[in-house]
Amino acid sequence: MTNYGYIIRFHDNMEYPEGNILTVDGPAYAGSIDGADPRDAARNILRERSDILDDSFGDTLEPVFTVERNADGSFVVEIETHGLGDATVELLRA
């Protein structure tokens, strides 16, 4: 297990027929979390900081985790939850 420092920002993305996307920012949290890899760490953060994975819809339809590694070794994980509230996680190995 690796320990990561994190910042998670919750947001809703609303897409309009014209292709415009409106992002509405929600709460943000910081802390540290353990995970086998960045995806696992993001899942653990989501479980700790929200009830999205406890929702019956969220429990059966797996969120989509898109992981990008930055040049400095940090990670950005975009979490798409199929309408239950998206999130962006910034991870740095502690």
Rg of the chain, C-alpha, whole Å: 13
- Residue-level pLDDT at 14: 67
The closest of 23, 26, 29, 22 to 6, measured between CA atoms, is: 29
Residue 6 near residue 45, CB atoms below 8 Å: yes
- Residue-level pLDDT at 82: 74
Residue 88 near residue 11, CB atoms below 8 Å: yes
> What confidence tens digit (pLDDT) does each residue in 33-51 have?
999 999 999 999 988 988 7
> What are the boundaries of each domain within the chain?
2-93
- Residue-level pLDDT at 51: 78
Q: How far apart are CA 1 and CA 16, in angstroms?
A: 41
25: left (phi over 0), alpha (psi -120 to 50) or beta: beta
Which portions of the chain are predicted below pLDDT 50?
none
- Residue-level pLDDT at 5: 97
